[in-house]
Structure 1
């Protein structure tokens, strides 16, 4: 075992034994409001509240309040104990988690190790048809089970007793505590699930173990949660009620915020940085996030399967103009798969990113000409995006770049978010808006966008050579070697131009100054209401 690997084990054990717990940390002397209620916009309707089916950022926001895994993440972005009060890494592939004795379901039943076993086995079962299974690929036998080659009982999770969970990973996974903080890896109450049937996620039937319980769900209108009195940390949970609003329009949510109907918007109106930072300095919050905004390309499409077309389209988009003038919210131009702040690999960029734009245009024209396109036969395709002002603004800019610099005739089509998700998954598109918020801080979360047969690979891209490098990196217990191999895997994949990276996200949003516990330093954008509080105002 290498020195690097040993240091990671020591650090993970030290964190687990530190006794940290997540809860609202109200500074001494802070006067709290009598009414502890929060109204938060999440930017879209959730696709589900079944933790085996959620995949979108909005659904994860809600699920994070309803369910708690073995670990959790606090408002500053740090991994802290969740249902597990401590854990140890016995060897590179074996972890043991000790559960809290006072962890309870919302119906009062104790949360046990078997609840985690049941939940993970259900998610990995091919019959469940889970849409988001990348976490389970890291658990021993997870990939084989998903492929139907092994039974769900072969999954690397075992209840050593009611209060102890043993996890076996498929490869050395030093970031496992981070990975396990995601709602998909939370437990599920088997009795409530069986009793509720297909309606088990509805109000009055959903049994949860997080800080809140589901009280109301009106599709495309609101989701209302109330404080869970049986949550193990209920005594320090301050906010008693949270309402999630799914309004997609940035302009509409801005008006709602100003009218006092929202305490928190998913996004501030794009391009409003200068204006809002001056007019609403206490409410306007911006932080860099470990997330990539990109254009997905359907690599199996008759037009887009030509690498020369894909490369040409990527080369001529001026990321500096897009981020600096069109958006202007601190976004960082991106020319690769990985972003700043991510661990497990190094950020790289295309060589041509440093070229003068005219040289890039000239090269792109040559590529299109070689692919058979030009003035007499212009390249034509459709660009698809989900309905928000930001995505429309980016779409208009990109189509203008392609038309003015290359004569490309691209059209736009927008769809409601849930429909758009299915369109991408089904591969029923040519080029489409996409984005990736890191689920945990490691390069593997981004590489899943390009692995063969990955559920997150809407690009339908596949390279056996890239996959071999990824597998080699995952198998290494030497962190430096692992990083070098995964860096090369990302570089090699992007040389095939399977997607068009545009920029690293920031999180420009409006949050009322009286919402305590909100930190722009949280680069993962994962906030739980149990960490927040409302200041007297």
Structure 2
């Protein structure tokens, strides 16, 4: 697997998805509580408790459903797959202590640790992985992450309703031996399965209670921490999992996650000691950077906008290009977000090297430019093609947050200044927004992508025809074939050439407007050490400590 050469990340994920208004109680500093056995207050205060903010309510702690930034950090610390990203962001042995690979690179046999346990004391078995992976692929589950499993033989046909679960080549050789057969050798396979979508599920627990993941009282995990408390839209609490196979490594006793969707409120809580980590408000970024208090690093992901090609006027290519070229990404990062992000003129982020050692983004270059004059000409051309005397009304929709609002307002002004188009703004709560966007209910809407694993194909596969991650209504047969061929190509040089070509087709068709590549900017209590912030957006607390 290609390493993230340039992604030496040291920042907390800015959760740029947004939603629920913070519960008033979450603005107060969490207080230690005496337990039923009468634990002394000084004993409680001696516990190592890390105070973090999740940004908003997790979508779900059901592994194949919580496929987003607001669920990943929680899931990554409550559960664990066969492999886990290490401190160097590379996959390492986790629930599986070792594995064997067939000579043709297609069959992996994983040996699960004898001491791998669920938080309720049950053994983690190969059957739990078979159950979980087939459930991920089951079309009735409706997982947005199901496409990640298409490298498994029989997986795509099952997920598309053309095959059965029995055809999916995953099996339990015995209680502690799990075997999977791939459609072709995959250089990044061990990295992909670190994604929470591939976590096991306790089959016995899930069969008895299909909603096992919905509340702390019923949650059963196999990771470094347990879900001890979950007051929805307020906070959730994790406690060290003594059943975890590597519990001796875990130093924290508890992790308290607030749910605050306002950066300024989060910063105020950090200032008063109610949080150990904070994002950096845009209005204070220049000061905090100059004082050396803010840390920043690249991240594998994009902030972007999606056109809906099934709604007027964005069925027209030239109108889409006009809106895209009216956006000034450099001004956006310099004067709106102000957190030292890199402007995005392509979709694949920096930090992926091809076989020649060249960065993908630098090699494929800028595929979009800011050009108001050409944008106006393209708009006029597109309107003529459609027979528009007046452009149909355009509404830009975003999920509620202070950051999204600022970016939306800046875009609104750019469209007015550079195109002479008045665009309306609309916002809504995150969960409703996500459902409506997937259902293609918006004309133009904000979005974000964080890499699920460390390879450019993960960025590009999102826009295949019909995938739930596409959310644009765009379809291109040549693009689909390039992605399919690249995912089955063992020759790395050929594979990268296919991906370079695919990204160029994406921007020739322009179903999206990239804004900036994510970075990670944060403030952190000096007493806190060992937090690992993975490029793919998971916050790793297994090695964290607080003195």
TM-score with structure 2 setting the length: 0.87
Matching of residues 312-351 of structure 1 within 5 Å: 312-342=322-352, 346-347=360-361, 348-350=364-366
Residue of 123, 142, 153 corresponding to 1:129: 142
Q: Match for residue 175 of structure 1? A: 188
CA deviation after TM superposition for structure 1 residue 35, in Å: 2.9
1:244 aligns with 2:254: no
What do residues 7-53 of structure 1 show as CA deviations (whole Å, max 9, x unaligned)? Answer: x69x9xxxxxxxxxxxxxxxxxxxxx943111211211111111121
What do residues 437-487 of structure 1 show as CA deviations (whole Å, max 9, x unaligned)? Answer: 001011221123210111211112111111011111112110110111121
What do residues 240-276 of structure 1 show as CA deviations (whole Å, max 9, x unaligned)? Answer: 11122221111111111112111123x3212532111
Q: 1:77–1:526: 8 Å Cα contact kept in structure 2? A: no
Q: 1:323 to 1:417 in 2, by over 3 A?
A: same
- Distance in 2, matches of 1:365 and 1:413, equals 23
Residue of 110, 121, 140 corresponding to 1:97: 110
1:471 aligns with 2:445: no
Q: 1:315–1:364: 8 Å Cα contact kept in structure 2? A: no
1:55 aligns with 2:67: yes
Q: 1:94–1:168: 8 Å Cα contact kept in structure 2? A: yes
SS of the aligned residue for 2:410 comes to helix
Q: Match for residue 318 of structure 2? A: 308
Residue of 256, 273, 289 corresponding to 1:260: 273
Matching of residues 134-533 of structure 1 within 5 Å: 134-265=147-278, 267-279=279-291, 281-282=292-293, 284-342=294-352, 346-347=360-361, 348-350=364-366, 353=369, 357=371, 359-371=373-385, 377-378=390-391, 380-518=393-531, 522-533=534-545
Q: 1:370 to 1:514 in 2, by over 3 A?
A: farther
CA deviation after TM superposition for structure 1 residue 312, in Å: 0.3
SS of the aligned residue for 1:441 comes to coil
Q: 1:317–1:402: 8 Å Cα contact kept in structure 2? A: yes
- Distance in 1, matches of 2:473 and 2:184, equals 25
Q: 1:200 to 1:78 in 2, by over 3 A?
A: closer
What do residues 160-207 of structure 1 show as CA deviations (whole Å, max 9, x unaligned)? Answer: 222222221223311011101011101111111122233453222211
Paired residues in the alignment total: 499
Query: Relative to structure 2, which stretch is displaced further, 129-138 or 169-178?
Result: 129-138
- Distance in 1, matches of 2:284 and 2:508, equals 35
Q: Match for residue 26 of structure 1? A: none
Residue of 83, 86, 93 corresponding to 1:71: 83
- Distance in 2, matches of 1:405 and 1:359, equals 8
CA deviation after TM superposition for structure 1 residue 322, in Å: 1.1
What do residues 87-124 of structure 1 show as CA deviations (whole Å, max 9, x unaligned)? Answer: 23322322222221211111112211111011111221
SS of the aligned residue for 2:493 comes to helix
Q: 2:69–2:537: 8 Å Cα contact kept in structure 1? A: no
SS of the aligned residue for 1:197 comes to coil
Q: 1:172–1:474: 8 Å Cα contact kept in structure 2? A: no
Q: Match for residue 534 of structure 1? A: 546
What do residues 65-97 of structure 1 show as CA deviations (whole Å, max 9, x unaligned)? Answer: 111000111344232211112223322322222
- Distance in 1, matches of 2:372 and 2:426, equals 29
Where structure 1 has 5 or more consecutive residues not aligned to the other structure, the ranges are 1-7, 12-32
SS of the aligned residue for 1:216 comes to strand
Q: 1:227–1:241: 8 Å Cα contact kept in structure 2? A: yes
- Distance in 2, matches of 1:384 and 1:463, equals 25
TM-score with structure 1 setting the length: 0.88
SS of the aligned residue for 1:59 comes to helix
- Distance in 1, matches of 2:378 and 2:253, equals 56
CA deviation after TM superposition for structure 1 residue 359, in Å: 4.4
What do residues 127-148 of structure 1 show as CA deviations (whole Å, max 9, x unaligned)? Answer: 2222321221222111100111
SS of the aligned residue for 1:313 comes to helix
Q: Match for residue 110 of structure 1? A: 123
Where structure 2 has 5 or more consecutive residues not aligned to the other structure, the ranges are 4-44
CA deviation after TM superposition for structure 1 residue 510, in Å: 2.4
Q: 2:118–2:220: 8 Å Cα contact kept in structure 1? A: yes
Q: 2:318–2:382: 8 Å Cα contact kept in structure 1? A: yes
Q: 1:121–1:153: 8 Å Cα contact kept in structure 2? A: no
Q: 2:342–2:516: 8 Å Cα contact kept in structure 1? A: yes
Q: 1:289 to 1:295 in 2, by over 3 A?
A: same
